[in-house]
A and B are shown apart, each in its own frame.
Chain A
Amino acid sequence: MNAEYEKQLESCVGRELKALGEWEAPPDLARRVMRAIERRAATPWYRREWLAWPMTCRAASLVGLMVAFGLLSLGSARLAHLATLTPLAQHVSRWLSLTDAVWKAAEALATALGLALRSLGPAVILGGAVLMVACYAACLGLGTLCLRLAFAPLNGKSS
């Protein structure tokens, strides 16, 4: 590229652009902003994002969360220790064993899925993947076609 030409082009285009004025903002922009500010101001503090909470509330919530976490950790450690000793703890551990059953069922399901995939073979899996990609491309193509038809100039003229 010719450096002198580029320089002249830059200053020429720059001159044209600098001569442009400002766009006029939509007349209701200020109203929209003021409405949004009022809406935000009317929102109670606990429904705003945490960073917008008053400082004392943020500090209190942080302390509260830390205390709750500490109590939970302490409680679970105690529970594990007492599990074999008290009937209440045994009752709780029985309930906890239910989650264990759910976990085992999920594990079995995953194993079955793995086995099924292995028995299908790579060709079938590859075929499935290709089919999925083809379906996606078809959707995209159809979407594009619809969009082009929707926004096509009505008089059919193009420059």
Chain B
Amino acid sequence: MTDTQQFEGFMRNYQNMVFSTAMRLLANPADAEDVAQEVFLRAYQRFDELRDSPTAGGWLKTVAANLSLNHLSRYRSRWSFFSELLGRGREEAGCEMEFPADESATETGEQADRRALVEEALQKLPATQRVPLVLYHFEELTYEEIAAKLGVSLGKAKTDIFRARETLRRRLRLRLTDEPRLRPAHQT
């Protein structure tokens, strides 16, 4: 088997993971595909090291997250004004989202519907809330690491993540145990 064929196999093993990382951070399939392509081009340059490395997945995930964040910061300042408008417009129009494909054939329709709903709610969050939330729950970074990565204060990182969770809770109608007793006064 040639190097290229081996790399193709390697890429097929990790492409969903890399694309998911980029997709959750960018919420845009075209941008996520561009980032995934760049990740694999970089991986190809280091394929000799990555081929048998047990940490290849982690490396790919980190590069995908970093490139996605670079992409966001490069375009955010230029286009935030318009993209915020577009984002609101999309939400107002109730636009159709693409949902992830079913993982297993045994999954019930109800579970798939639920996952699609959660994915849609996540994608509809504004970037300022979605990005730190994804970094916390999917990339498993700490609040401090997220604040440092995004160049914001620790307080802002925490607040944005809290707001993101609150929005998801409302949109998904999540119920917490002992909710009335626990919820802060301003939320009731």
- Known contacts A16-B174, A29-B36, A158-B93; is A22 also within 8 Å of B100 by CB? yes
Residues of B within 8 A of A158 (CB): 92-93
Q: Are B176 and A8 in contact (CB under 8 A)?
A: yes
A49 at the B interface (CB under 8 A): no
C-alpha spacing A6/B20, complex, angstroms: 27
A13 to B, closest residue via Cβ: B165
C-beta contact mask, A145-159 vs B, less than 8 Å → 1, else 0? 001100111000111
Q: Are B37 and A9 in contact (CB under 8 A)?
A: no
A153 to B, closest residue via Cβ: B93
Q: Contacting chain B: which of A31-39, A93-101, A106-114, A121-129?
A: A31-39
Q: Are B100 and A8 in contact (CB under 8 A)?
A: no
* B positions within 8 Å CB-CB of A: 4, 7-8, 11-12, 15-20, 23-24, 29, 32-33, 36-37, 40-41, 44, 81-82, 85-86, 89-94, 100-103, 114-115, 118-119, 122, 133, 137-138, 162, 165-166, 168-169, 172, 174, 176-178, 182-184
What are the 10 closest A-B residue pairs judged by CB atoms, nearest first? A25-B19, A153-B93, A5-B182, A25-B15, A21-B103, A24-B101, A158-B92, A22-B16, A23-B20, A22-B20
Q: Number of residues in A with C-beta < 8 Å to the partner?
A: 41
C-alpha spacing A14/B184, complex, angstroms: 20
Beta-carbon contacts under 8 Å, A4-28 to B = 4-6, 8-10, 12-14, 16-26
C-alpha spacing A76/B46, complex, angstroms: 45
Contact residue among A6, A16, A26, A148 (Cβ-Cβ distance under 8 Å from B172): A16
A144 at the B interface (CB under 8 A): yes
B86 to A, closest residue via Cβ: A151
C-alpha spacing A37/B133, complex, angstroms: 34
Q: Are A36 and B118 in contact (CB under 8 A)?
A: no
Contact residue among B19, B36, B115, B183 (Cβ-Cβ distance under 8 Å from A19): B115
Q: Are A25 and B18 in contact (CB under 8 A)?
A: yes
* A positions within 8 Å CB-CB of B: 1-2, 4-6, 8-10, 12-14, 16-26, 29-30, 32-34, 36-37, 40, 140, 143-144, 147-148, 151-153, 157-159
Residues of A within 8 A of B115 (CB): 19-21
Q: Are B165 and A10 in contact (CB under 8 A)?
A: yes
Residues of B within 8 A of A6 (CB): 162
C-alpha spacing A13/B86, complex, angstroms: 26
Residues of A within 8 A of B162 (CB): 1, 6, 9
Residues of A within 8 A of B93 (CB): 153, 157-158
Residues of A within 8 A of B86 (CB): 147, 151
C-alpha spacing A152/B91, complex, angstroms: 11
Given contacts A12-B169, A16-B174, A23-B19, 16 further A-B contacts (CB under 8 A): A5-B182, A8-B182, A12-B176, A13-B169, A13-B174, A16-B118, A17-B138, A20-B100, A20-B115, A20-B118, A21-B103, A26-B29, A30-B8, A40-B41, A148-B89, A157-B93
Q: Are B89 and A14 in contact (CB under 8 A)?
A: no
C-alpha spacing A140/B19, complex, angstroms: 34
From A8, A10, A144, residue with most partner B Cβ within 10 Å: A8
Residues of B within 8 A of A9 (CB): 162, 165-166, 169, 176
Residues of A within 8 A of B23 (CB): 23
